[in-house]
Amino acid sequence: MKSSRFFAILISFFLTLLLSVSWATAKNSSHEAFLECLESHSETSNPISAVLYTPANSSYSAVLQSYIRNLRFNESVTPKPQLILTALHLSHIQAAIICAKIHGLQMKIRSGGHDYEGASYVSDVPFFILDMFNFRSINISIENETAWVQAGATLGEVYYRIAEKSNVHGFPAGVCPTVGVGGHFGGGGYGNMMRKYGLSVDNIIDAQIIDVYGRILDRASMGEDLFWAITGGGGSSFGVVLAYKIKLVRVPSTVTVFRVARTYEENLTNIVYSLPASCRQVA
């Protein structure tokens, strides 16, 4: 009787071990197939292997943690991406989109700014990160009062580049300089100039996106419905936004910023009305 129980336990142990080995083998095989897919769908002149970081890579943890601003999402139990792709070329992004579809792997897009909720680097299902921080160029045209801003730039960088060109132009967006353009514009974008100029997305006049088929589209080729969706509806649901063309707005050359803590009962409205008209424009 004891001998039968022993053999039953032994058989159960070996079956469990066999299933574990089979699962690990299948997982590794799937991972390798995904890497091969990325290689085959990117340009050989811009090797994607140079910008791939897996847990086996010594730089993986540093790359992952570089844009994590909330330490609650940087614990050992926090789900980690299978790999991080720090794209340097359009073909890298196209490959990521196509292969994510083929292999059913969730893609998290991280645009280079802070993300305190972990939405761009944590998931409950197998995933990888497409990191867009290398796509951060900003081209200002004061003559046309416009600028092309790539999704990996931060608001602080946008403001700085505008100020380099003009002291009477600005852009209505958030007050925190470390906010990423991709996430901020994708969610609408609000800030101190909202009353006068509206949301950030109210001042976006064009965009470039790589859609789910890997096509590079602008406003004319994507159509107004998709353009509307990526300017406030959350761009990652519809593709990967590469850049936005923004309309610069006029601002005073000298701006005074102050904060007065008063309630309505403490004559707050009287204080506001006593300000010069130029101050009340954005108050």
Both tokens of 225, joined, read: 């419905």
- Round to whole Å and give the CA distance between 217 and 209: 5
Are the C-beta atoms of residues 83 and 52 closer than 8 Å to each other? yes
Q: What is the pTM of this model?
A: 0.80
Q: Calculate the CA 146 to chain-centre distance.
A: 22
Are the C-beta atoms of residues 85 and 131 closer than 8 Å to each other? yes
Q: Where are the alpha helices (DSSP H) in 187-274?
A: 194-197, 219-222, 224-230, 268-273
pLDDT by residue, tens only, the chain of 283 residues? 556 665 666 666 555 555 454 444 445 668 899 999 999 988 888 999 999 999 999 999 999 998 888 888 888 888 999 999 999 999 999 999 999 999 999 999 998 777 878 888 889 999 999 999 999 999 999 999 999 999 999 999 999 999 999 999 999 999 889 999 988 888 888 888 988 999 999 999 999 999 999 999 999 999 999 998 888 765 557 889 999 999 999 999 887 777 777 777 887 778 777 766 555 544 4
Question: Which domains can be identified in the chain, with CATH numbers?
Answer: 2-131 (3.30.43.10), 138-250 (3.30.465.10)
